[in-house]
Amino acid sequence: MSEAIALSPIDAAEGSAREKADLTAWLGVAAGAIGSLMATLDISIVNASLPTIQGEIGASASEGTWVATAYLVAEIVIIPLTGWLERVFGLKRFLLGAALLFTLFSVMCGMASTLPMMIAGRIGQGFTGGAMIPTAMTIIATRLPPRQQPIGTAMFGATVILGPVMGPLLGGWLTENFSWHYAFFINVPVCAALVGLLLIGLPDEEMQLDELISADWLGIAGMALGLGGLTVVLEEGHREQWFESTMIWQLSALSLLGFVFIALGQFTAKRPVIKLALLRNRAFAAVFVLALILGAVLYGTSYVIPQFLAAIAGYNAYQAGQVVFLSGIPALLMMPMIPLLIRFVDLRLAVAIGFATMALTCWLDAYLSAGSSGEAFTVSQLLRGVGQVMGMMFLNQAAISSVAQDEAGDAAGLFNAARNLGGSIVLALLATLQDARLDYHHWTINSAIQANDPGVQAWVQAQVAQAGGGPEGMAVALRQIDLGVIRDALVMAFNDEFMALAVAITAVVPLVLLLKPLPKGQISMAMH
């Protein structure tokens, strides 16, 4: 599926006869970076404008999470397949097809008037956009000499981290100044530029259609059924009363069947689409779990923060996007230093610092109030950016160093899939947790209000008088009480979500002790 390239002083001398890449090579790298940025940005570009989209396509808040989740699920399925698809169609032809289809699906999303149409478009975006994430690293490996590959790696790392935090900002600005439809239509001119760069910057390759015969079709079908079914179960479980629902039982069985297919593919396929045997390696198993949590933080916070700011602080989509983007500032500033840090800082220490920092930021955000605004997130978002850079870039190195060199590509595929799987699962779980905790806090606060309390009676009487008295005035007063209770309960539910993320991150920090450090002065990159 892929290969690994380790960048050491010796490798840099022997890896390529070229001292510097030519212009066409850099155009190819730019195409990979743009494609990766588009794919990661479109994961979260709808987050800030989701309330507006939900209203126009007739979706509830719970159903609206599928606009983001559908994209992630499709990406999870396609990422491990990209190495095989590159070999079948050739890198240039494969990426040109992905870019053109991504454009068509983006237009479909922009024109969507119903939830099913939007979800279908987002699934298509996920399949085609997800293909452009790992292939960006392939371009770096094949078009740049070893001594210049760290520059390409930093460019790629910037797109992976900045995409999810730029999404809400750009989506919010387009929603407020134009329409939410342009959050999808903007991909059309960008894709046109991308196609031009691909045509110039990548060489032609022959197709290897014989690869279709030896493909792990059981594994491919298993990922679609297993991951898709699992996500629907998580998304709809709370609303359907979990296993009291026939639908949840059926979807659970479908998901289990999918995972059985994946397992069978491990033994029957010549080259399994996902090499699960790597998880028997303790160091890589630790990387896999950490990647799940990393994805949960990266995508979970970029979803919850705009929801809080819209529901509690009254922010519009653009204002919420500005707050989310704060975490991208440290990422942008730190990225040029990453190659140097990787050479000289023990990755176990770096990952521990990154995850501990992310846990701290979620803990800081778990004490919001009904009066909190975007300023309450300033410190936590800036710190979160630092933690995400340290966690993401060093954990990628840990994934490669924990396995043999000929397995490094498979490890990278599982690492990227785990990151997106964590994001998909957390979006479903956070929506479920919010509904459950909102109900809990709503009734807890209601039960704590004493009707005979003099203070409560005085407030109610004042509101009744202000509303004109009589039964109508009493109805207004009671409605105001309930609205206040719901607002406070919602704030507490958001706090619970952040605290849950903080606990989850803290719980996995000890796993860094199982990570395998890189040899001094070496940078590894896994290519699909």
Band of pLDDT at residue 415, cut at 50, 70 and 90: confident
The whole-number pLDDT of residue 1 equals: 39
SS3 6: strand
CA distance 416 to 411: 9
Tell me: pLDDT of 525 over 60. no
Band of pLDDT at residue 466, cut at 50, 70 and 90: low
Please check whether residue 311 is in contact with residue 177, taking contact to mean a CB–CB distance below 8 angstroms. Answer: no
Count of domains observed in the chain: 3
**One domain, residues 173 and 62:** yes
Per-residue pLDDT of 104-133, as tens digits, reads 999 999 898 888 898 899 999 988 988 887
Tell me the residue range of the domain where 225 lies: 216-272
Tell me: pLDDT of 244 over 60. yes
Asked which of 75-84, 175-184, 505-514 is least confident by mean pLDDT, the reply is 75-84
**One domain, residues 135 and 156:** yes
**One domain, residues 241 and 265:** yes
CA distance 49 to 207: 41
Report the predicted TM-score, pTM, of the whole model to 2 decimal places: 0.77
Band of pLDDT at residue 502, cut at 50, 70 and 90: very high
CA distance 128 to 138: 16
**Among 128-132, 189-193, 200-204, 360-364, the range of highest mean pLDDT:** 360-364
The whole-number pLDDT of residue 376 equals: 92
Tell me: pLDDT of 429 over 90. no
Tell me: pLDDT of 414 over 90. no
The whole-number pLDDT of residue 379 equals: 93
Strands (E), 57-174: none
Tell me: pLDDT of 47 over 90. no
Length of the chain: 528
**One domain, residues 68 and 93:** yes
**One domain, residues 195 and 304:** yes
The whole-number pLDDT of residue 356 equals: 95
Band of pLDDT at residue 472, cut at 50, 70 and 90: low
Q: What is the CATH number of the domain that holds 341?
A: 1.20.1250.20
The whole-number pLDDT of residue 17 equals: 41
Q: Domain boundary residue among 228, 252, 272?
A: 272
Band of pLDDT at residue 4, cut at 50, 70 and 90: very low
Tell me: pLDDT of 357 over 90. yes
The whole-number pLDDT of residue 471 equals: 66
The whole-number pLDDT of residue 505 equals: 94
Asked which of 49-63, 259-273, 433-447 is least confident by mean pLDDT, the reply is 49-63
**One domain, residues 140 and 279:** yes
Tell me: pLDDT of 293 over 90. yes
Per-residue pLDDT of 378-395, as tens digits, reads 999 999 999 988 888 788
**One domain, residues 395 and 285:** yes
Per-residue pLDDT of 5-40, as tens digits, reads 444 443 444 444 456 777 888 888 888 888 888 887
Task: Select from 201, 199, 205 the least CA-distant residue to 100.
Answer: 199
SS3 4: strand
**One domain, residues 161 and 263:** no
**Among 33-47, 274-288, 351-365, the range of highest mean pLDDT:** 351-365
The whole-number pLDDT of residue 5 equals: 40
Beta bridge partners of 6: 524
**One domain, residues 331 and 310:** yes
CA distance 292 to 290: 5
The whole-number pLDDT of residue 10 equals: 37
How large is the average pLDDT for residues 469-478? 63
**One domain, residues 300 and 419:** yes
- Strands 3-7 and 523-527 come out as antiparallel
**One domain, residues 255 and 348:** no
**One domain, residues 229 and 154:** no
Three-state helix/strand/coil letters over 213-233 = CCCCHHHHHHHHHHHHHHHHH
Task: Select from 269, 255, 284, 47 the least CA-distant residue to 171.
Answer: 47
**Among 46-55, 61-70, 282-291, 351-360, the range of highest mean pLDDT:** 351-360
Q: Domain boundary residue among 229, 256, 272?
A: 272
